[in-house]
Structure 1
Amino acid sequence: MSKLEIHQIPVLSDNYVYLFRDANSGLVGVVDPAVAGPVLDKLQELNWTLTHIINTHHHPDHTGANLELKEKTGCTIVGAKNDASRIPGIDIKVEEGDIFDFGSQSAKVFEVPGHTVGHIAYWFEESDALFCGDTLFALGCGRLFEGTPGQMWHSISKFRDLPDQTKVYCAHEYTEANGRFAVSVNPGNDALKKRFAEIVAMRKKKLPTVPSTLGEEKETNPFMRADDPGLAAELALSGADPVEVFAETRRRKDSF
């Protein structure tokens, strides 16, 4: 089985939109389209016809082009069942444990509240692709606008069970700033320091740092490692519950 062909489209100041195609069926999807123009341009360049929008959450920089793209292409919009009222144009409503079939590919749906209460993520196992919106970033995680630290830690922990080779197609180019913070709270992590140096070099060349892999995130992202005794010790929280460690890490990031 061929894997999804995935194209990354930078939009706005730091968003990434993902256009993907299942070669076997010809179905074409777009993840979290903030604006329509760059998506339509890329579709024309590739001679693809959009069939689906998949949304991770309701924020306008993820759903802003839903209705325009639906009007121009007749595509089907997929989003969270428990947040359907905030997903413009939603047609298919999915929830925890659902399998979204996309031609010869399928995605497992995870409910991952924290950034918003209705946030979801899509894992295309055969393509090693995780579309996680603003729940998990390269070396970071989303702000807790609507959820709690406990919810977000539980959400991110779901990703730790997925294979290390899974690519993390997050929605923003925040990695350098995230890395600077990560090193400040976890200076004893040699793998993190090495990765951060590579990220700085990439950004100097204006190269994207996304996607990363879950293996990299498990090793270096402090928000995936709230149960690591070394991180807890560096936060002066030895023996604390992982939720407390996570909450303190997020609190420090918010004011970094």
Structure 2
Amino acid sequence: MRIHAIPVLSDNYVWLIEGDQGQCAVVDPGEAAPVLAEIERRDLTLKAILLTHHHADHCQGVAGLRARFPVPVFGPALEAKTWVTHPLANLESFDLPQIGRFQAWHTPGHTLGHISLISDGAAFVGDTLFSAGCGRLFEGSPEQMLASLDRLSSLPGDTMIYCGHEYTADSLRFAHFAEPNNESIVQRIRAVNEARAAGLPSVPTSMSMEKQTNPFLRIRESFLRAAILKHAGSGSLSDADAFWALRCWKDEFDDLPLLPRYVQND
């Protein structure tokens, strides 16, 4: 299985999964034309479309792709109202011949039905986990998102993480602000700046790298937890509250409007 990044829209990535004998699948096609061009350039045949969630920048290319290749669309069962022909429940697995075997993990938070797709040392995580960051909570609760991130962080350290956006440089700026003494973050900033200056993607990343440099996977680390408490003006916070405080802190850092906090949905 060979995986290629296709940049679309302003900062999205579509992931093209190339299998044997010219077969391929794509993950989260936010646009059709660049994906069709890459499939043609590589002389491949599209066999399936995989979706992690329902946001338009991850699925608005489905119609154009299916007009050319009438293929099945695998996606979250809880968000299967549009495009999805094969809804996937949590832990449901499926095979794409000549491409690979995939398992859906329910990873809510960014959206309530969001799934991540796990396959042979690769995790396609959509907008749940970013390189050095995480998605905003448009539908889910902090408890849900933290549980999703904890679940993903249980993957082996050499698992490659394929997220939906090129946000790494901005995310690392905040990570360094929150943890200025973390040398792994400093080194990663240099590496990412070099890659981006050369016109290369900063992703995929590895789970081991994320555990060293991603503040949203590090809320239980003593130095970062103390910084979160100080910023929040609190002496003690639960893990979910500390995560939410960190998420709001990053939104303030990025000058984004703060989202309301949703309660846990049981």
Q: Same fold (TM over 0.5)?
A: yes
**Sequence identity, in percent?**
38
Contact 2:229/2:242, CA 8 A, preserved across alignment:
no
CA distance in 2, matches of 1:203, 1:7: 16
CA distance in 2, matches of 1:37, 1:116: 26
Please tell me the root mean square deviation across aligned C-alpha atoms, in Å: 1.5
Other structure's SS at 1:28 match: strand
1:102 equivalent to 2:99? Answer: no
Worse overlay, 96-105 or 140-149:
96-105
Contact 2:104/2:118, CA 8 A, preserved across alignment:
yes
CA distance in 2, matches of 1:187, 1:100: 43
- Partner residue in 2 for 1:114: 109
- Partner residue in 1 for 2:261: none
CA distance in 2, matches of 1:6, 1:204: 22
- Partner residue in 1 for 2:262: none
- Partner residue in 2 for 1:199: 192
Contact 1:22/1:102, CA 8 A, preserved across alignment:
no
- Partner residue in 2 for 1:92: 86
Structure 1: unaligned runs, 5 residues or longer: none
Structure 2: unaligned runs, 5 residues or longer: 254-266
Pick the aligned partner of 2:242 from 245, 248, 254: 245
Deviations 1:38-85 (A, max 9, x none): 111111111111110000000111000112211211111010111111
- Partner residue in 2 for 1:22: 19
- Partner residue in 2 for 1:58: 54
1:165 equivalent to 2:145? Answer: no
Deviation at 1:239, TM superposition (A): 5.4
- Partner residue in 1 for 2:126: 133
- Partner residue in 2 for 1:13: 10
Other structure's SS at 2:44 match: coil
- Partner residue in 1 for 2:227: 234
- Partner residue in 1 for 2:78: 82
CA distance in 1, matches of 2:64, 2:200: 30
AA matched with 1:250: R
Deviation at 1:200, TM superposition (A): 2.2
- Partner residue in 2 for 1:39: 35
CA distance in 1, matches of 2:189, 2:18: 32
Contact 2:229/2:236, CA 8 A, preserved across alignment:
no
CA distance in 1, matches of 2:109, 2:188: 26
AA matched with 1:216: M
CA distance in 2, matches of 1:200, 1:188: 19
AA matched with 1:101: D
Deviation at 1:222, TM superposition (A): 0.5
CA distance in 2, matches of 1:190, 1:234: 17
CA distance in 1, matches of 2:123, 2:40: 25
